[in-house]
A and B are shown apart, each in its own frame.
Chain A
Amino acid sequence: MIWLLLFCLQTTDKEAALALKRLDKALASDDDSSRASGVESLRLIRHESIRNRIIRIGDNGRASERVRAACADVLGEYSDDEVAAKSLALWTGDRSRLVAVRACQSLGSLKPDVARLHARSLNGLFHSKDDAVAKAAIMAAGVIRDRVNIKPLLDELALVQQKMAAILKAMGVGGCDGG
């Protein structure tokens, strides 16, 4: 019964084409917020052509970070899609904080078997100078639960502890060593 319902909800090629037309219209707007909303509106419509278009927009360096962050949100809906996961993994290292954070969150929202294929891409972000990116990557690793993240998480915790110990020492407070 559930499969029948899911089958009925499948987006047809025609519906996808119409959605892409609406997207083109939104992307032609002068207002960045409208462009991002146009992308976000595709969250509920799953179709290969839409996914591919979203990836192209997200990969486009000329698109605004708000629009590309919306692309990361939409790809998060493709929970069992390896192509979407691959792009999200790539975007976790984006120069834009907004895009990187949203890509980490979306990667964490994918089905574990798919997300695990790219769990390693998070390791380099635990040490990010940008706390928001570091925390998003750490939290995504916590959700994905892959062994490949354990040592980098442990290493980062040891490093943070060392830094904290140095601060305490410099301030002349507490009796904590480097741990």
Chain B
Amino acid sequence: MLTVEAKIKAGEEITDPDVGRYFSVAGSLQQALLSVTKQPHKDHRTWSAWWKKAGDSFKVPE
């Protein structure tokens, strides 16, 4: 199975599971950081906004 990066290079279609893993890992990372630092990191809002915007990019317009 090709990685997302290899698929892009090969011009193959990117599917939901391909990008889903990045959203999933990023979500876990942000949660862990929130827990370890015991308070939101100064960039927490920026990250949340960034990932929300990235997620919206994949939404099919109704």
Contacts and interface: CB of A to CB of B under 8 A. Distances in A.
Which size bracket describes the interface of B in this complex? 20 to 34
Contact of B8 (A135, A150, A170): A170
B22 to A, nearest CB: 5
Q: Mostly helix, strand, loop or mixed at chain A's interface?
A: helix
Interface string B30-47: 111111111001000011
A117 interface: no
B53 A157 contact: no
Interface in B3-47: 4-5, 8, 14, 18-19, 21-26, 28-38, 41, 46-47
Contacts of A179: 46-47, 50
Interface residues of A, number: 34
Interface string A152-164: 0110110011011
Contacts of A164: 19, 22-23, 26, 51, 54
B32 A167 contact: no
Contacts of B46: 179
Interface-centre pick from B19, B29, B30 (highest chain A CB count, 10 A): B29
Interface in A120-142: 126, 131, 134-135, 138-139, 141-142
Nearest first, the 7 closest Cβ-Cβ pairs linking A and B are A174-B57, A142-B32, A142-B35, A170-B8, A173-B57, A157-B29, A138-B28
Interface of A: 126, 131, 134-135, 138-139, 141-147, 149-150, 153-154, 156-157, 160-161, 163-168, 170-171, 173-176, 179
